[in-house]
Structure 1
Amino acid sequence: MGVFSAIGSFIMTPLYYVISAILIGFHKFFSLFLSPEGGTAWALSIVGLTVVIRTALIPLFVKQIKSQRNMQLIQPKVKELQKKYGHDRQKLGEETMKLYKDAGTNPFASCLPLLLQMPIFFALFRLLDQAAKNQTPHGFLTVDLATKFGEAEIGGVVPIYESFWGARTWGDTPDGGVMMVALVLVIAMTATTFFTQRQLMSKNMPADAMSGPYAQQQKMLLYVLPLVFGLGGIAFPIGVLLYWTTSNLWTMSQQFYVIRNNPAPGTPAFAAKQERDKAKAREQGIASGEIVPEPEPETDRRPAVREQPKRQSKSQRQAGSAGGQNQSKKKQRGGR
C-alpha cells in the first residue's frame, strides 16, 4: 500500500503546484473587482484553470483530429482486410495494426485528451476536498488560502466543495439549493459529453466509416462515457463539475471550428463547406462588379434530324441525268 501511495504522491505533487499556481493567479485577478472572500472569484478561477489547461492541450487536440481523420480514410482498407483475413483473427490483428502504423494513426488517439485530463481532474478534486475538510494546503496554497478556497460559496449560498450526493443537511433535510445546482451541472456535463462525441460522428465521418470496428468503438463511447460521468458526477464537488463542464464546452467549440473549416473529405461537413465556398465566391464576384455566369438551363442537345431525299421514279432520274449532261456541254462551248 505504501508503494502505491508513493507513486500517487510522485504523480500528484507536481500537479498540485501547477493547479494551485494557476488558481491563485486567477483569484488575485478576479479579486480586483470581486470580493476575495466570496466564492464567485474562486469559481471563475476554476474556469480560468480550465481555459489554461485546454489551451496547453491544443497541439494534442490537433494530433487527435488528424488521427481520427486518418482512421476514417482507411476504413475501406480495414474492411478489405476483414474480408481477406476474417478466418484468422491473429493475422487480421497484425495486418490491421500494420495498416494503422503506415497511416500514422491509432484507434485510441481520440481518448488521449481525456486520459491526460484525468490526473488534473483528480488533483483538483483532492485539492478542493482536502481544503474543505481539513484546511490542508497543497502546492502553493497557504493554510489561509486553503481555508478560503474550501469555504468558498457561490453567491454566498452554494459551497463549491459540496456535491449532489453529499449535500449538507439542515436537520434531516438535504440542502435543496446545493442539490439543484449540482444536478444542473451533472446534467450539463453529461449532455456536453454526449453532444461532443455525436457532433464528430454526425458531421465529420464519411458514410463508409460508419459501419467498421472504428465506428462501433465510437458508438460505444457515445453512450458509455456520458453514462459513466453522469453516475460519477453525483459524487463530484461543484467546483470539479464546473471544471469538467467548461472543458466539454471548450471541446465542442474547438471541434466545431475544426469541422467547419477543415472537414474530412466525403463527409456532410465537407459538402456543407463546398456549398459555403461556392456561395462566397458568387458574393465576391457580385461585390467586385464581375458578372457571375448563371448555370445554363438544360436544353435538348439531340442532333437535328437530317431531311431525307424524296423518292424519284426511273424516268425522273434519267431526265435529271440528261439535263445535267446538257448543262455540262453548254459550259464547255461557252468556255471555247
Structure 2
Amino acid sequence: MDTIAGLFSFITTPVSWIIVQFHSLYGAVFGPDSGWAWGLSIVSLVILIRICLIPLFVKQIKATRGMQALQPKMKAIQERYKNDKQRQSEEMMKLYKETGTNPLSSCLPILAQSPFFFALYHVLANIADGKTIGVLNQQLVDSAREAKIFGAPIAAKFMDSSEKVAALGASLTDVRIVTAVMIVLMSLSQFYTQRQLMQKNVDLSVKTPFMQQQKMLMYIFPVIFAVMGINFPVGVLVYWLTTNVWTMGQQMYVINQNPTPGSKAQDQYLTRLLKHATSHGEVKGRGKKKTVAAIVAKGPDRNDIERKFITALSKQGLAAQADGSVIKSSEATADADAASGGAAKRQQPKRQTKSKRQTPSKPSPKK
C-alpha cells in the first residue's frame, strides 16, 4: 500500500494544503489539536472532491445505462462469434463506437478519486512517522499525531502494534474498536449502495449477464473493503466512509428523480408523478415535465411501466402533451379537432353525376 501511495506523491502537496485550510477553519472552533478539527477537515476534503466529480458521476450514470441497453446486442455478438474471439472483440468495439458508449466511463469517478485517496494515505502515513509532508510543517504534524477520533489517533491502523499505538498516545483496544466499527460501517454502506442499485434501478425487462455480474459485485466489494480496511489509518477510514455515504445519498437522489427506464424505481417515480398530476391537474417542475415529454416522444416504443402511466392519466381524464404538460382529455380532443380542420363541420350532400341530374324524377303515384 505504501508503494502505491508513493506513486501518487505528486498530489500530496495540494491534498495537504486543502486539509490545512479546512483545519485552520475548524481549529478556530474545536481547537487546533482536536480530533474533530482534523476529522472534519478530511470529511470536507471528501465533499470538495465529490462536488468536483459530479460531472463525471453524470457520465457514469449515462454510461451504465448505455451498457445495460447494449447487453442484448453484446450477448448476440458473443453467441454469433463464440469461436472467433478476435472478430468478437472487433464487433464489440464497433458496437461501442456506433452507440457512443465507453465501458470505462462507469469507472470514471473511482479512477478520478484514486489519486486523492492514495495521496491522503501517504500524508497520514508520514504523520504517523512524525515526518513533514507537503505543506504540513512539524508543528502541524505533531498536532495531527495527537488528534484522536473517539480515542483513536487519525494515523493509527487496526493492525498496528501496541507499541506503535502507545507512541501515538492511545490504547490498542480503543484503536481496534474504532477501526472495526468504521470498517463495518464502510462495508455496510457499500453493500447497501449496490443493493439499492440492483433492486430498484435495473431494467427488469432485460435479463442479461450484466445483472448477474452486478449481483456478484454487491457481495464481493464489501468483503474487499473489509479486508483492505484493516490496513487503513483511521483518517483514511473517515475518508472512505464519507465517500461511501456520499455515493449512497447521491445514488438515492438519482434513483428517486431520474430512474432507469423499466426499473422498479421508475414504476415508483411514475406512480408519484401520476398522483402529483391528478391532484394538481398539471405537472409542476422542469424535471417532471422533461420526464413526461420523454415518455410522450417514445410513442409505441414505451415500456410497460410508461404505457401504464399514460393509460392511468387517461383514466383520470388527463392527456400528456409533447411539451411535458398534461391537459384535460376534452381539451386534447378539441385541440385535435381544431388541428384537423374541425370534425364537427356540417356534412355536405354527395354531388350527383351529370346524367342523374338530367334524368327527370318520376312523379309520385296519386292515391
With normalisation by structure 2, the TM-score equals 0.71
Matches within 5 A, 1:254-269: 254-269=250-265
CA distance in 2, matches of 1:287, 1:67: 29
The equivalent residue for 1:236 is 232
Helix, strand or coil at the partner of 1:105: coil
CA distance in 1, matches of 2:229, 2:14: 24
Q: Does structure 2 retain, via aligned residues, the 8 Å contact 1:68–1:105?
A: no
The equivalent residue for 1:191 is 188
Relative contact order (C-alpha < 8 Å, sep 6+): which is higher?
1
Equivalent in 135, 139, 149 of residue 140 of structure 1:
135
CA distance in 1, matches of 2:54, 2:220: 25
For residue 80 of structure 1, report the CA deviation from its aligned partner.
Answer: 2.3
CA distance in 2, matches of 1:109, 1:280: 35
Helix, strand or coil at the partner of 2:112: helix
The equivalent residue for 2:157 is 163
Q: Does structure 1 retain, via aligned residues, the 8 Å contact 2:120–2:236?
A: yes
Equivalent in 260, 270, 273 of residue 269 of structure 2:
273
Q: Which amino acid in structure 2 is aligned with residue 158 of structure 1?
A: A
Q: Does structure 1 retain, via aligned residues, the 8 Å contact 2:278–2:316?
A: no
For residue 22 of structure 1, report the CA deviation from its aligned partner.
Answer: 1.1
Matches within 5 A, 1:197-212: 197-212=194-209
For residue 287 of structure 1, report the CA deviation from its aligned partner.
Answer: 12
CA distance in 2, matches of 1:112, 1:286: 39
Alignment CA distance shift 1:265-1:8 (3 Å): closer
For residue 204 of structure 1, report the CA deviation from its aligned partner.
Answer: 1.7
Helix, strand or coil at the partner of 1:206: coil
CA distance in 2, matches of 1:88, 1:59: 38
CA shift digits 1:188-212 (9 cap, x unpaired):
1111122222222222221254422
Residue 284 (1) aligns with residue 280 (2): yes
Helix, strand or coil at the partner of 1:108: helix
Alignment CA distance shift 1:29-1:209 (3 Å): farther
Q: Does structure 1 retain, via aligned residues, the 8 Å contact 2:276–2:283?
A: no
- Of stretches 224-233 and 45-54 in structure 1, the one that deviates more from structure 2 is 224-233
Q: Which amino acid in structure 2 is aligned with residue 247 of structure 1?
A: T
Q: Which amino acid in structure 2 is aligned with residue 146 of structure 1?
A: V
The equivalent residue for 1:182 is 179
Equivalent in 201, 214, 218 of residue 214 of structure 2:
218
For residue 220 of structure 1, report the CA deviation from its aligned partner.
Answer: 3.4
For residue 279 of structure 1, report the CA deviation from its aligned partner.
Answer: 0.6
The equivalent residue for 1:47 is 43
Helix, strand or coil at the partner of 2:98: helix
For structure 2, list consecutive stretches of 5 or more residues without a partner in the other structure: 285-312, 318-363
For residue 117 of structure 1, report the CA deviation from its aligned partner.
Answer: 2.1
The equivalent residue for 2:301 is none
Helix, strand or coil at the partner of 1:265: coil
Equivalent in 113, 126, 131 of residue 127 of structure 2:
131
The equivalent residue for 1:75 is 71
CA distance in 1, matches of 2:179, 2:59: 34
CA distance in 2, matches of 1:136, 1:102: 53
CA shift digits 1:140-189 (9 cap, x unpaired):
1111111111221125x221111222163699x96222211110100111
Q: Does structure 2 retain, via aligned residues, the 8 Å contact 1:13–1:139?
A: no
The equivalent residue for 2:81 is 85
The equivalent residue for 1:312 is none
CA distance in 1, matches of 2:162, 2:90: 55
Q: Does structure 2 retain, via aligned residues, the 8 Å contact 1:167–1:174?
A: no
Name the Cα RMSD after superposition. Answer: 2.8
Share of identical aligned residues, percent? 41
For structure 1, list consecutive stretches of 5 or more residues without a partner in the other structure: 297-330
Alignment CA distance shift 1:333-1:67 (3 Å): closer
- List structure 1 runs of 4+ shifted beyond 6 angstroms: none
Aligned length: 287
Equivalent in 21, 26, 34 of residue 22 of structure 2:
26
Helix, strand or coil at the partner of 1:247: helix
